[in-house]
Structure 1
Amino acid sequence: MADRTTSAPDDPFPEPAPGTRLGLPASGPGSVSGWGRRFLGLVVDWVVASLVARASLSGVGRDLGPLLVFLLMHLLLVSTIGMTIGHAVTGTAVRRLDGRPVGFALGLARAVLVTLVIPAVVYDGDRRGLHDRASRTVVVRR
């Protein structure tokens, strides 16, 4: 199978497929996840966090609750099993570039940056946001 590129077929300097510079396959399992899957996973995670917060918090906690549940969900799930509920639903996972588990320290950095939103929307040619770059991770297809 030929390498997939992100440039036009007649481009003399084609861009490599996202993730190939990182040693990941251009497509299939282990390749960098597309934007649609990532966005849908984020929506699923936010809905779950909102439902948990509404069901378990009252008063002022209901206002910040979804954000705090979202942060804790990302921290605990990505740090331990490498995926959130949204990742599981969309067939994606968070992997460290060196193949080791994400772990608590990098999971915390990643969770805080995802929760801040802006680092997640500033990304590179490998579809890695600042949160992924800071935690040395990438979101891949399972």
Structure 2
Amino acid sequence: MDNRDAIGSWLSGPRAAAEQAGVDFGYRGEQLGLPEEGPGSIARPGRRLGALVVDWGLSLLIAYGLITHGYDQATGNWALLVFFVMGVLTVGTVGFSPGKRLFGLRVAALATGRVSPARALLRTALLCVAIPALIWDRDGRGLHDRLAGTVEVRI
């Protein structure tokens, strides 16, 4: 390995370097028994981020229009509470929030396929803290999904 190969592997990241060395990671969701593409496959980060933006925007609109009647510091705090309640109620009952539905996603429990209200509560609480959602495993699941035993999949 010359210097260019070493620099190239450093720039492309450890996964790319390991794949060049012959390590087969498989596709996202393979270890969970999920298909590679189509319905039931792991949701891609772009769709997940889009759904999060829609849900947060909806929460802000509700807080702005129904609770604070204007935008100030309290609007963001109320929006977080609305986001939490909306997430627990929608994911815990139908398996998706409005944003997730718009982007063709749903949350499924690994064991049963259906998310219980308790799992939805834990998942949403960890999502509101934000840090667990920023730590991903090789399947693209956030720490909040791993701890709740859930996965976000395509419909």
**TM-score, scaled relative to structure 2:** 0.82
Asked if 1:37 is matched to 2:37, the reply is no
Query: CA–CA distance in 2 between the matches of 1:19 and 1:7?
Result: 18
Listed one character per residue, the Cα deviations across residues 37-74 of structure 1 (whole Å, up to 9, x for unaligned) are 00000000000000011111128752411100001111
Q: Which has the higher helix share?
A: 2
Listed one character per residue, the Cα deviations across residues 67-126 of structure 1 (whole Å, up to 9, x for unaligned) are 000011111000000000110010010001123421111111001000011000101011
Partner residue of 2:147 out of 134, 138, 142? 134
The equivalent residue for 1:3 is: none
Q: Any stretches of 5+ residues in structure 2 without a counterpart?
A: 1-14
Root-mean-square deviation (CA, aligned residues, Å) is 1.9
The equivalent residue for 1:90 is: 103
Asked if 1:111 is matched to 2:121, the reply is no
Query: CA–CA distance in 2 between the matches of 1:27 and 1:16?
Result: 13
Q: Any stretches of 5+ residues in structure 1 without a counterpart?
A: 1-5
Compared CA separation, residues 40 and 75, structure 1 to 2 (3 A)? same
Asked if 1:81 is matched to 2:94, the reply is yes
The equivalent residue for 2:58 is: 48
Identity of aligned residues (%): 39
Secondary structure of 2:136's counterpart equals: coil
Any conservation in 1 of the 2:60–2:76 contact (CA below 8 Å)? no
Query: CA–CA distance in 2 between the matches of 1:29 and 1:116?
Result: 29
Asked if 1:26 is matched to 2:36, the reply is yes
Matched positions, count:
137
The 4+ residue runs of structure 1 with deviation greater than 3 A are: 6-11
Which amino acid letter does the alignment assign opposite residue 26 of structure 1?
E
